[in-house]
Structure 1
């Protein structure tokens, strides 16, 4: 007798039919289980003398709902989870344990629904022996989405080979206030650049068969005072003009989910904000993916509702599908029984989670096949180093101090970030094996000439005002041909770091901490700490040429240097191989091609300094200049480059057919190759629904020019280039006059006027 296969088990059936069939077979408890991600993944296994086994706690969690929707962080390793090499999962054990999880859930439950294995992939899979990439701010500094997409594809392949299916990646937040400790997780201060990098992120992950959940929706980078998870004062227009561009791009590129942010919008927490999660995301944008809560965010709603069942109902009704570590969401069954939320709303959320599982092919392949081997890891490491090299940004260059000479007699490498891999890899990073990575000191020693002596001194600690070792460092600098001073910040967590329930670092004003950046580490003062400033002054006073390298996760405020500095480079947490990448740029083996994805302020008192503020013709402060120290898009090279004026194929277009070509001639007038990022900005001169912004990035192109070579950067201008947020908060091309500007940075542009008319008949 032939037993009929349930429709949901038929791989040839359309996904909507499989979902409907499975939903119809589920109990209320099973449905609620699919919406929960309550367990920390590292509590699901334990080490035994024979390897790893699933814990009783994991088995009980599965039994409670006869299934499990998602399991977060099975392979996460860091100071917060307490997972290290002694008890954690390496690549082989990770794949085996993931397979054991799936077998237990599929074989041991009534319906056999596979579990989503969700992992952090902020800059590489956050797991033991996962390849660590430079942080997002470094990726943004490359202005190279294609390179970033390749690296993401490699990281996602590593994640998938270890049995995971969903990657959580920060992409939607913008650096509106660099005092915010999570600035390193942002691509840029600019919505256009962030949108292009987000598209690349989604595309790269999808190449490896990994679903991406984009963090955080929406406006988290706009918190007041740069304080983590604090209030926002966003209006609807700024939300749409600035904070939704990356989310729109990511959704259009095929993101599987978004994570609701901690902050509120218009006074309503994002995880309970129906306007954001349903009205905008689902109804207006047509998004059919999963909305995930941020860690314990639903539990915070109890302050509004008074009880956990009502909090769960509030989040579900708003459009949240999947919890993260919350105690409230497991009580959704009670919410249905009490009439606080409808069974239909519950089914809709469950359907979205099941749809993702079907789309990922988990019912047919819950356990991954053998993944990429060591060769793929080496290739990904090379891509990470390429990102690091491309992100190094030359801010100051005077007197031809760079490239460094291999004929130098002695080079002094000084500073608290000179010889630390931990301080160049950023937050959300798993423990590294001893000896892995290349520090800046090690990179310089390897790159220097055979007769060059490289001497080193720490000089001072990363934070504080202890200057007891400054004199020793200055003495070494005085006897050197050049001093490379490696300063900046660190997001390195230690076993002594205290944590919030959601993993954010706990920091208290005045308490000693080696962290100056990272989640929960917000600064009031953006300047370098006192001891670092004293070290810089003492070394510069020796008269030895000084090159400053800033290893950092946020733009530190840089006033006018009181002492002479020949060159300043920014290396945004460049990853384990970042020291070699920095050395290659210092010695001229690679041209500096990074461009600032953020504006660098003169001090915290000058904030905000993002380049695309509203154009109210503000005159600035009386006592100080209001401009940034270095503008968005800025970045120098070892050669000189000359830009012509932009040339348009037409100077008048209609709102119905706004198509034209913009060209700009760029010539390398120096003696070294140029790797130039040509930038296109739009500046509204008249018309429009709202007060215009100073200028807005709408395109960029990369040119490689030999000495003396001239080439055109070509931009195809269309509706997407010229669109702005109209009165109804939708993107529209509005009539009026704009200026198309091109140049090497936002503060060095040349423009040409373009008229946008109401009707096509007026085009010329």
Structure 2
């Protein structure tokens, strides 16, 4: 155990004026080392604790302002400062924060300054706190721009568009006084029964990697020593393998070998860290028997030593204390997490005992100092010692709304269009808009969404009424609720459909929480309200929409009126192959109603492609295109192939691909719009390994690019191949518009690189 620094020597160091760590021109490493040399063991431990729920730090005053709570004062007294504070601006049913008692867009910065002034004044060395906020699909705060969920972002196959949206979210966060963004990006959707499927970019590691890079570029900007005032360091979550939990059950075990982990679940994290991500969050699940928060092989040997990651590692909520099941008590649980590579806790008690752990020799002070140094480094990079309070202006809310609508529009995916009932032809003068999702925005935004002000957003019904040609008769009937067995509204819906030229049936699920939801200590739903069929803690055993919705669909289709089904959902549901047209919009955000209406009416083209495979039944699971290249036979009673495959999506025009060419590093292909409408094709390049050291996968996406073409236009598209061929002695590539089309596409041998 290191010898404690003599008090006289410490006093002499602290007495230096001005202290070196206050010099903004000094190198970051020098500033960190100087500040560390001045800190007591207690102060160091305080920097690694992130214990409070931020909404417990303040309360509204009668005059509409804010005051600090005794809970915040006690927390800052405990460690003579505050390392980080989670969720100061979080608003939702779990926190109990809404527009009556929480900070909005124009007073969040004042609240953040009030808390920060207290922290800095209470700290002997004037160390500011990190304000850590949830930004899953926009800043989860009152009046924050809500974006479509990650699964919808995955459906856009458009990293550039997502990068612009991520930049806006970061600017909102920083303008309101927040510093660090927690963003889901690393989970790969391998079982759609998992309630957090909506937080995944999809089932494919390459697609997720490209979108994770876009996220980091957008939120953090160009890698540099210091963050711009409108940029926010990103905590990528969850590291790693959380999307592969057994049975699709939240926080369950993951039966993963290291090869599966590296091939499927780590590429997005690798891409994000290479792009400069400031931090990652250790996941709840275990890998090879060890929970991620206590997995040294994952957090230190792979992340830090093999990848060279120098950023911060944060534990997920209460994950450190869970390690006591292995170690026997919370003190040793905290020691295990720190020694494994965790730098910053989240709500745990385990890290509060680190001072004693050092004194008992369970933790070396050098290990503690390294973790504290990473926390301080991030604070210096944010410029908090020079500018501890807000320094940027709020970006335009209209700009944020436009970006949200653009993402929603790009995510709408057309999967079936029998009889070409879409876009709605000019001969249609009567449209029945039906279903439990048709006239509400409450279920369009997914989990981790702050309460919205009345009138925010647009429903499908409102969008169609506003955008349909003048004189179109649009009638509405709800038909049924999202869940339950009440069929009393079905006759009204059937009558409306029978009297119309087209029925638009809007079905789906919901991740919306209400104050009636029961929550676990980490915020996961444990007693979901009746309408909640998705989200954290809302896992399903089946993938049907529910008895009432299926009955409504059967009854409407039986009228003989052409029917277009629109799904608003956070996971792929199993839907009967009976309607003429089928679209999925995922959770498109508040403005998704307009986006869906535009696509239905032909005012916008369907641009989305599936980021996940859609199963025929739950009995097929798991279903994903990049399975191992074995004898993938069918079942006696059902096909083993998905109903719709990864990468699929129809358009209102047609595309033709020429013969691809490659030099081994790039692939070039001519794409022609053969139809009569403008459209977007997504060129997808798949790798097929032929002879390898280990058993290969059937296909692996290795490049993609969207291309916009006018009718009759041909364009040459060149894509850089993202291919790792170690251990491969022969390979070919296939260029197609989906993974299923790639199976029969003409193969192009991939030459060995020099």
- For Structure 1 versus Structure 2, the TM-score category normalised by the shorter chain is over 0.9
Q: How does 1:270-669 map to 2 (within 5 A)?
A: 270-373=292-395, 376-405=396-425, 408-507=428-527, 513-559=530-576, 561=577, 563=578, 565-649=579-663, 659-669=664-674
1:178 to 188, 192, 202: 192
Aligned-pair CA distance for 1:756: 4.7
Provide the C-alpha distance between the structure 2 equivalents of 1:283 and 1:159, rounded to a whole number of angstroms: 32
Aligned-pair CA distance for 1:755: 5.0
1:754 matched to 2:749? The reply is yes
2:736 to 732, 736, 743: 743
**Counterparts in 2 of 1:109 and 1:547: CA distance versus 1, 3 Å:** same
Provide the C-alpha distance between the structure 1 equivalents of 2:524 and 2:382, rounded to a whole number of angstroms: 31
What is the match of residue 701 of structure 2?
A: 697
1:713 to 698, 714, 717: 717
Provide the C-alpha distance between the structure 1 equivalents of 2:713 and 2:420, rounded to a whole number of angstroms: 22
Provide the C-alpha distance between the structure 1 equivalents of 2:698 and 2:16, rounded to a whole number of angstroms: 69
User: Does the CA contact (< 8 Å) of 2:510 and 2:532 recur in 1?
Assistant: yes
User: Does the CA contact (< 8 Å) of 1:558 and 1:600 recur in 2?
Assistant: no
Provide the C-alpha distance between the structure 1 equivalents of 2:57 and 2:427, rounded to a whole number of angstroms: 57
Structure 2 unaligned segments of length 5 or more: list them.
1-14, 222-229
Aligned-pair CA distance for 1:342: 1.0
Aligned-pair CA distance for 1:108: 2.5
User: Does the CA contact (< 8 Å) of 1:188 and 1:598 recur in 2?
Assistant: yes
1:722 matched to 2:734? The reply is no
Provide the C-alpha distance between the structure 1 equivalents of 2:358 and 2:258, rounded to a whole number of angstroms: 33
User: Does the CA contact (< 8 Å) of 1:558 and 1:601 recur in 2?
Assistant: no
Q: How does 1:41-440 map to 2 (within 5 A)?
A: 41-50=54-63, 51-207=65-221, 208-373=230-395, 376-405=396-425, 408-440=428-460
2:678 to 666, 673, 679: 673
**Counterparts in 2 of 1:669 and 1:756: CA distance versus 1, 3 Å:** closer
Query: What SS does structure 2 have at the residue aligned with 1:747?
Result: helix
Provide the C-alpha distance between the structure 2 equivalents of 1:646 and 1:681, rounded to a whole number of angstroms: 12
User: Does the CA contact (< 8 Å) of 1:418 and 1:458 recur in 2?
Assistant: yes
Provide the C-alpha distance between the structure 1 equivalents of 2:555 and 2:750, rounded to a whole number of angstroms: 56
Aligned-pair CA distance for 1:722: 2.6
Aligned-pair CA distance for 1:334: 1.2
User: Does the CA contact (< 8 Å) of 1:646 and 1:751 recur in 2?
Assistant: no
Query: What SS does structure 1 have at the residue aligned with 2:60?
Result: strand
Provide the C-alpha distance between the structure 2 equivalents of 1:755 and 1:284, rounded to a whole number of angstroms: 29
Moved more, 739-748 or 448-457: 448-457
User: Does the CA contact (< 8 Å) of 1:648 and 1:662 recur in 2?
Assistant: yes
What is the match of residue 26 of structure 1?
A: 39
User: Does the CA contact (< 8 Å) of 2:423 and 2:601 recur in 1?
Assistant: yes
Q: Give me the CA root mean square deviation.
A: 1.3
User: Does the CA contact (< 8 Å) of 2:693 and 2:728 recur in 1?
Assistant: no
Aligned-pair CA distance for 1:80: 0.4
**Counterparts in 2 of 1:663 and 1:350: CA distance versus 1, 3 Å:** same
Aligned-pair CA distance for 1:663: 2.0
TM-score (norm 1): 0.94
Aligned-pair CA distance for 1:360: 1.1
Provide the C-alpha distance between the structure 1 equivalents of 2:426 and 2:384, rounded to a whole number of angstroms: 55
Provide the C-alpha distance between the structure 2 equivalents of 1:714 and 1:639, rounded to a whole number of angstroms: 22
User: Does the CA contact (< 8 Å) of 2:190 and 2:244 recur in 1?
Assistant: yes
CA-to-partner distance for each residue in 1:12-68, whole Å, 9 max, x for gaps? 111111111111111111001000000000000000013111111101111110011
Aligned-pair CA distance for 1:339: 1.4
Provide the C-alpha distance between the structure 2 equivalents of 1:195 and 1:84, rounded to a whole number of angstroms: 35
Number of corresponding residues: 729
Moved more, 298-307 or 181-190: 298-307
Moved more, 619-628 or 313-322: 619-628
Query: What SS does structure 1 have at the residue aligned with 2:388?
Result: coil
Aligned-pair CA distance for 1:644: 2.7
CA-to-partner distance for each residue in 1:345-376, whole Å, 9 max, x for gaps? 11111111011111111111110124125xx2
**Counterparts in 2 of 1:111 and 1:301: CA distance versus 1, 3 Å:** same
User: Does the CA contact (< 8 Å) of 2:532 and 2:538 recur in 1?
Assistant: yes
User: Does the CA contact (< 8 Å) of 2:430 and 2:502 recur in 1?
Assistant: yes
Aligned-pair CA distance for 1:647: 2.4
CA-to-partner distance for each residue in 1:627-653, whole Å, 9 max, x for gaps? 00000000000112222332234xxxx
Provide the C-alpha distance between the structure 2 equivalents of 1:83 and 1:699, rounded to a whole number of angstroms: 43
Provide the C-alpha distance between the structure 2 equivalents of 1:439 and 1:253, rounded to a whole number of angstroms: 37
What is the match of residue 5 of structure 1?
A: 18
CA-to-partner distance for each residue in 1:226-254, whole Å, 9 max, x for gaps? 00000010001000011000000000111
Provide the C-alpha distance between the structure 1 equivalents of 2:728 and 2:124, rounded to a whole number of angstroms: 61
What is the match of residue 727 of structure 1?
A: none
**Counterparts in 2 of 1:118 and 1:753: CA distance versus 1, 3 Å:** same
**Counterparts in 2 of 1:735 and 1:239: CA distance versus 1, 3 Å:** closer
Aligned-pair CA distance for 1:660: 3.9
CA-to-partner distance for each residue in 1:117-176, whole Å, 9 max, x for gaps? 000000000000001000001111000001000001001100000111100000000110
**Counterparts in 2 of 1:345 and 1:465: CA distance versus 1, 3 Å:** same
Provide the C-alpha distance between the structure 1 equivalents of 2:88 and 2:640, rounded to a whole number of angstroms: 48
User: Does the CA contact (< 8 Å) of 1:389 and 1:582 recur in 2?
Assistant: yes
User: Does the CA contact (< 8 Å) of 1:8 and 1:18 recur in 2?
Assistant: yes
Aligned-pair CA distance for 1:407: 5.3
Provide the C-alpha distance between the structure 1 equivalents of 2:728 and 2:737, rounded to a whole number of angstroms: 28
Aligned-pair CA distance for 1:535: 0.4
Aligned-pair CA distance for 1:738: 1.0
Structure 1 unaligned segments of length 5 or more: list them.
650-658, 725-731
